Structure 1
Amino acid sequence: MNPVQVEQRLREFLDEDLGFGDVSGQFWGSQQVSGYLVAKQAGVICGQDLPQRIFDLLGRKTATYQQLVPEGAVVVPGTRIGQVHGAAATILAGERVSLNLLQRMSGIATATRAAVSALGDDQIRIADTRKTMPGLRIFDKYAVTVGGGVNHRLGLDQGVMLKDNHLAAAGGVAAAIAQAQAVAGPLLRVEVEVETMTELQAAIAAGADVIMFDNQTPMTARKWAQLVPAGILTEVSGGVTLANLADYRGAGVDFISLGYLTNDVRPVDISCVFTEAVKS
């Protein structure tokens, strides 16, 4: 993750949560506390460096977070994933933002790991989409990589993707690809979505860099992948779920993109529990 963007986002999140200040925190003074972050559900832990970054923004060197399990670790319920120590006011002010991010990111990493396992094909990579929560994209997409997936475009500036509306506006697959190639830089790939054999053939003839098979069955994906020349990447998207991922095993495509990884997030339940308080 870009550290500059991470800090900017964390400042925004803290500003939203703190408002004019933590009115509960004023009672704690300089009291010192210790405690743990505990995973209450099984999952893949992600976001382990964020609590310390958050504490540092709130009060540099007044609180510490020690990771007890590494990033990407698979844990069982009851696992202590980290230890906190320091000023109660700092820890309590940063607790909710830390937990919200850890829980969401761990949920995404867990779902991605499950998808990779269900597919069971080292030749096909699981990818995310742009269906991320506004403001959380860098965290969401990082979590996908921790879970074993890869990132599709981070934003609209990182590649050309011609979908149904683009094709309709341009007048078809060939015209859309030609227009995109005329303005795209030499390092930008041009990807096009196809839904029929006719569109597939047009995309191949026009020299697309990536061809997405949209809402196609595993049988069709296998058939179409065999028709695509070497040098053109292939992607399956739409209609793929955890329940039917295994059906695409051996399909011969390069990627399967899954919007639900970041669009239907089930956070991993994580709590912060103080174990002792030290008098100031």
Structure 2
Amino acid sequence: MAGRTAPTARRTRLGAELRKLRERAGLTTTQAADLLGTSPGQLSNMEVARFGVSPERVRVAAQAYSCTDQALIEALAAMTGDRRRGWWEEYREILPPKLLDLAEIEHHGTSLHAAHSIHVPGLLQTVDHSREIYRQAVPEMSPPQIEHRVSYRVKRQAVLYREGAVPYRALIHEAALRMRFGGPGVARRQLQHLLDLGERSHVSIKVIPFSATDYPGSGQSVYYVRGPVPALDTTQLDQSHGPVFIDSEAQLAQYRLLLERLDTAALPPKESLDLVHAIAQEL
């Protein structure tokens, strides 16, 4: 096994999922290592992503752990491939590691679903809008830090424009649409950008109006990235100290339900874009 000094989010998740399979099988590290013909130390390093793992090793481990979910096994085996460095690695010494993890998780997602109450989702922000958001950050960022964040966000947005782009759904509260970050001109261009993106076949933008009588979730921002199988989904929550990732089955189910309820509270796509247009006309 090859050593890894900076395991990626994808490799870290693979190790965590292998650990879950072992624990569900009721095996200790020593017992599992004996079944796999390795040492407990090597197995532990594999589970915390210090060592790489081959597709064959994943399949052998799954068999030893009595896992019969073939779709999950093959999805885990696929996570061992493609060792190329993603574009986000150029920010390795510049931005917090969690932001790089977000870009990697997003890059490999099979669908993306965001819900925001005060801000337009990052993937839908214009450069000027994004720059203004970072300018108002607490603690204050230096001009170079702001530009690094903006360029990183713009590069993340490539997932919406690349060939074979995956479905993207955004639930945005009307409050976010009426925030005038940067002044009327910046706000107007941001709303027009939403209207343009809403015309793309793989992008769905729905607005939860002020008139909605239901608004579950207490206004928290939620970003749900679907993996190749439900067990490999990831929820990302925004916190003041940075993004937080959630991947436990019970919590994933909770956030899927939350997004479904928010979706029910939102206007249909056509009416949502009409509301965006109406707000833009007021500026």
Mark yes or no: TM-score above 0.5: no
TM-score normalised by L of structure 2: 0.29
TM-score normalised by L of structure 1: 0.29
Greater fraction of residues in strand: 1
Greater gyration radius: 1
Greater fraction of residues in helix: 2
Q: Looking at both structures, which has the greater relative contact order when contacts are Cα pairs under 8 Å and sequence separation is at least 6?
A: 1
